[in-house]
Structure 1
Amino acid sequence: MKLFTIALMLCIRQGISAQILKIMETTNNTAAVVTVINRYFKGIETGDTVLLGQTFHSDALLFGDINGVPYAKTRNEYLSGVANRVSPDKSGQPFEAEILSVEVINSIATAKLHVRMYAFNYYNFLTLHETEKGKWLIVNKTLTNVID
């Protein structure tokens, strides 16, 4: 607490206290963002493309690489791929997903996720936006598979 007070005093001195206070005011949105991420995880695990689709903005884009191969898809291309594979839940394969971090500032948020499914060790970075009061959606996903 002492360190926070010192940092706040330095920021006030430098004239950026309003920015810090605004960031602090947005932390109540973190729970809404985590709810979207948990629905995203459930959609991946079960292959529920309706649920999964509800977590993404209709114009969302996905980029990254899988084992060094570039990956670029629209939301609809991604959902089609999920629909045409056997979900971890139906295959009986383990599915592990965790939120590593979430940061919310006003109407935007970022999240770092770790997802293990099949032979993949994915790290995902999501960007979310509050499109309507309380309605958070994934607007961008980047991903990579890290070989153990």
Structure 2
Amino acid sequence: MSRVSVQQHDFDPGAELAALTDGRTDIGAAVSFVGLVRDIHGGENVSALTLDHYPGMTERELEKIADEAADRWPLDDIRIIHRFGRMLPGERIVLVIVLSAHRRAAFEACDFIMDFLKTRAPFWKREETPDGGDKWVTAKASDDADADRWK
């Protein structure tokens, strides 16, 4: 059911949604989330974000997260695209699209997937600052709390 891509190049959310929904009459809801690079984080300016990952392991973990969502809710399809590499503020990082016959299932599953992408997906983030510095982004307790609500 799920389709996962981990890629360096950008994606077109509209084209991805159309590829999943065009010609389908069995779905009543398509919920999507697009994550973007911000130019500020923790009160500090950010000039670029670099995401590293373990190829193969990352895709398997994203598939597991999608499978868990499909086990919890009646879903018709899931699409996850997560980028890696260096990105500038305003660029797209992640896309999640969830299709279901019913809106509640689609909204909840999309939220669930994003909570677990933030906490379980093996990505490492490094932020660059305008003064030429950089730092690794550490996990946030609030992300763990968001994921804990699904237990």
TM-score between both structures, scaled by the size of structure 2: 0.27
Normalising by the residue count of structure 1, what TM-score does the alignment of the two structures yield?
0.28
Q: Which entry has the higher C-alpha Rg, 1 or 2?
A: 1
Which is helix-richer, 1 or 2?
1
- More RCO (CA 8 Å, sep 6+): 2
